[in-house]
Structure 1
Amino acid sequence: MTPHGAAPPARDRFAADTEPFRRELVAHCYRMTGSAHDAEDLVQEAYLRAWRSYDAFEGRASVRTWLYTIATNVCLTALRSRRPRLLPSGLGGAQEDPDRPPDLVGPGEVSWLEPLPDGWTDAPADDPAATVVARESLRLALIASLQHLPARQRAIFLLRDVLAFSALETAAVLDASTAAVKSGLQRARARLHEVAADADELLEPSDPRTRALLDGYVAAFERSDARLLEQVLRADAVLEATPFRQWQAGRTMCVHVLRTFVLATAGDWRMVGVVANGQPAAAVYRRDPAGALRADGVVVLAPTATGIARVVKFHDPALVPLFGLPDVLRGAGGA
C-alpha cells in the first residue's frame, strides 16, 4: 500500500498513463499490418518497449504521441520482413468461368488479410472516458486498400489522415522532415485513389436493416437456400474468399458458385453473428463427418440500403476464437 503523500509505484504510474490508449493502438497496428494476430503481438511489443523506456520519458511529447511513435516504429520494423496482406480481389480480375472451381492458393504463397473483432477496439461500457475508435477507419475495404501502400507511406497516411496528427508531429514520429511527410502523403493518397474500390455507404451494425440482411444471409446458408441468397445480395454484389485465387462479381455469378460448390445439404453450416471491422459478420461452423460443428472461419458482410454489396469469407478456423467463440459449437444440432 502506498503511504499517504508518496508517489505511486512506477508500474502503477505507467499503467495509468498508457492503458487508456491500448485499444486505439491495437486499431493502429491492425491498420498497419492487416492482421489481428500481428496487431495483438505488436502492441504487446510496443508496451514492453514503452515500459523499458518509461523512466527516460520526460514529457517532451504527450504520452499518446510517445506511444504512437513506439508502436508505429515497431510495426515498420516488423513489416520489413513481411509481405502485404491481401484479399483475392487484390490478386487479379474476377472469375469468368462460372463452372470452374476456384483455385486454392498454395500454403505460404500469399499472406491473407484478417478481420478484426470490434470488441478489441470498442470502448468498455463502464468506461465513458475511454477512446472510441471510429468504425469507418477499420472498414475492410480501407484496410485492404492500405496494404497496397509501402509501409512508410501507409504510416504517413494513417498518422495524418486517420489520426489527424500534424505534419510536424508525423515527422517527429517517423524521424523525417516535414517535406518528406507531405510528399509521402501525396503519393499515398494518389495510390489509394488508384486501388480503392468505389466506397459504398454502409449501414451501421445496429441498423435494423443490417440485422435483417445478416439474418437472411445466415438463414440461406443454414438452409442451403440459394433463392434466399438472391434476395439479400445486391445485383452488383461481390464474393471473395481466402485462400481462393478467384473472386466473383455480380449476384448471378455469386449465387451460382455458392450453389454449385458450397451449398449442399441443409444443416451443414451454422453461423453465429458477430461484428468485425465495424461491419456485420458471423463466425462460421461446418459439420464434420462425425457430426460435430467445427470452426471454419469468419464471414464479413458489407450491408447497404439496397442489399449486401460484398461478402468476404476468411477460411481460417483460428480466427473464430478471436471473437470469444469455441472451436466446436455445442448444441443446435452440434456435438
Structure 2
Amino acid sequence: METDTTALLARARAGDHNAFRDLVQGHSHELQVHCYRILGSLQDAEDALQETLLSAWRNLGGFGRRSSLRTWLYKIATNRCLSMLRADGRRPRVAPPLPEAALPEPTGAADAPPWLEPYPDVLLDHLVDQRPGPEARYEATEAISLAFITALQLLPPRQRAALVLRDVLGYHAAEAAQMLDTTREAVNSALKRARATVDDHLADSGSSGSRRPARQPDTAAEHRLVARFTDALERADLDALIELLVTDVRLSMPPAMLEYRGIESARRIFAAVSFRPGRAYRVVPTRANGQPAFGLYLADPHAAVHRAYCLLVVTTASDRITAITSFSTNVMTRFGLPRTLPVDGLSSRR
C-alpha cells in the first residue's frame, strides 16, 4: 500500500491528473463530512471540498510527508472552511419571510442557524472505514447528528475547528495546533470553551435531561416509530402524531429562526399548518444525519399529483420523538426525492 501511494504521489507530482484522483479519492467523502461539520451546509461543504482538492493539486510539490496524506488534506480542508466562514457574504444572516402566514406564536428563538442543511445518509455509506484517533470523544454516529451539527454552529470558527479535530477526529493537541497554525495551549483553551458550549446544547437537546440524545439507528423500535409517524401524517391523525412526541419536544424550521417547544405548542402548529382542512399528504421515509427523515408531499387540488412540501428530520429516544426539524423543498433532490409523486401507486415507495 505504501509503495502504491509513493508511486501515485510521484506520478501526480509529475502532472498526472488520474494519479492524483486515485491518490485522494479514498479521502474525498470523509473530507466532505468534515467540511459539513464545520460549515453546517452541504452546499458549502461541497464547495469547500472542491477548493480543498484544487489547493492540494496545486501544492502537491510542497507535501513533504512530515505527516500522512490524510492529515495534510485535513489541514487544507480545515483552513479552507475557516476562510469561508470569514467570508460573511456566503451565507444568510437574516431568515427570509415565513412561508406560512398563520403560524402560532413561537416559544422562542431556535438555535439552528438559517444556513443549516441536513446530510443524506446515502452519502455516509460511501465513507471509508477510518477509525478516529485515541483522543476522539464522540462516536461517529453522534458526531453527524443534527443536534451536534447545530451545536457546532454556535461556536466561533476556531473553537469549532479545534473541537472537530480533537474530539471527533481524535488528533492530538500538537497535531491540531500544527493544522491550525497555532500553539497547543491555544488549541486546548479553545477546546475547553467549545466543549462547554456543545455539552450544554446537547444536554438541552436530549430528552429527560440526558446529556446527549439517545440514538440507535435502524433498531426495531425506530422502524415502528417511522411507520407510526408516516401513518399519522398520511391519515391526518393529529392525536396519533402527538402520542409519538416527548413532553418537551422541540420543533424548528430553518431558515426561520423560530422554535416551538412542548406538546401543546406542537399540537397548535400541526393543527394550524400541517393538518388544516383541505390538506392531504403522502410520505416517503428516508434518512438524514443518521436519523429518520421524511419527504412530505402535499396533494395538489388541481392535478393528480402530490407536490414536494418539505423534508422532516426527527430525533428519537427509544420509541418517542424528541425533536422535529423541517427543511424546505430545496434539499429534497439531494435525497433522491422527486418534485412530485403520482396519486396512484404510492404504497410501493414505502
1:92 paired residue number: none
2:250 paired residue number: 238
8 Å CA contact 1:102–1:245 kept in 2: the answer is no
1:52 correspondence with 2:58: yes
1:296 correspondence with 2:309: yes
Task: Give, in whole Å, the separation in 1 of the partners of 2:242 and 2:344.
Answer: 26
Task: Give, in whole Å, the separation in 1 of the partners of 2:91 and 2:286.
Answer: 22
Q: Secondary structure at the match of 2:88?
A: coil
1:279 correspondence with 2:291: yes
2:125 paired residue number: 122
Distance 1:247 1:274, change over 3 A: same
Tell me how far 1:287 sits from its aligned partner. 2.5
1:177 correspondence with 2:180: no
8 Å CA contact 1:203–1:303 kept in 2: the answer is yes
Q: Deviations over 1:291-325 (max 9, x none)?
A: 332222211111111411111111x2110011122
- Out of 294, 301, 309, the residue aligned to residue 322 of structure 2 is 309
Percent identity over paired residues: 36
Point out where structure 1 has 5 or more consecutive residues left out of the alignment. 1-6, 89-98, 104-109
8 Å CA contact 1:217–1:229 kept in 2: the answer is yes
Q: Secondary structure at the match of 2:243?
A: helix
- Out of 18, 24, 27, the residue aligned to residue 18 of structure 1 is 24
Aligned partner letter, 1:283: G
1:255 correspondence with 2:267: yes
1:229 paired residue number: 241
Task: Give, in whole Å, the separation in 2 of the partners of 1:85 and 1:139.
Answer: 21
1:323 correspondence with 2:335: yes
Task: Give, in whole Å, the separation in 2 of the partners of 1:49 and 1:29.
Answer: 15
Query: What is the TM-score when the length of structure 2 is the normalising length?
Result: 0.80
Task: Give, in whole Å, the separation in 1 of the partners of 2:317 and 2:264.
Answer: 18
Query: What is the TM-score when the length of structure 1 is the normalising length?
Result: 0.83
Task: Give, in whole Å, the separation in 1 of the partners of 2:75 and 2:67.
Answer: 10
1:112 correspondence with 2:106: no
* Structure 2 counterparts to residues 37-186 of structure 1, below 5 A: 37-82=43-88, 101-102=104-105, 111-123=114-126, 130-131=129-130, 134-186=140-192
Q: What value does the CA root-mean-square deviation take over the aligned residues?
A: 2.9
Moved over 4 A (4+): 83-86
8 Å CA contact 1:34–1:85 kept in 2: the answer is no
Task: Give, in whole Å, the separation in 2 of the partners of 1:13 and 1:280.
Answer: 38
Distance 1:203 1:187, change over 3 A: closer
Tell me how far 1:205 sits from its aligned partner. 2.7
Task: Give, in whole Å, the separation in 2 of the partners of 1:83 and 1:284.
Answer: 31
Task: Give, in whole Å, the separation in 2 of the partners of 1:102 and 1:174.
Answer: 43
8 Å CA contact 1:118–1:277 kept in 2: the answer is yes
Tell me how far 1:113 sits from its aligned partner. 1.1
Distance 1:285 1:82, change over 3 A: farther
8 Å CA contact 1:102–1:246 kept in 2: the answer is no
Q: Which has the higher helix share?
A: 2
Aligned partner letter, 1:69: K
Q: Secondary structure at the match of 1:246?
A: strand
Point out where structure 2 has 5 or more consecutive residues left out of the alignment. 1-6, 95-101, 107-112, 132-138
8 Å CA contact 2:162–2:187 kept in 1: the answer is yes
Further displaced range: 60-69 or 320-329: 320-329
2:135 paired residue number: none
Distance 1:69 1:49, change over 3 A: same
2:3 paired residue number: none
Aligned partner letter, 1:293: H
1:27 paired residue number: 33
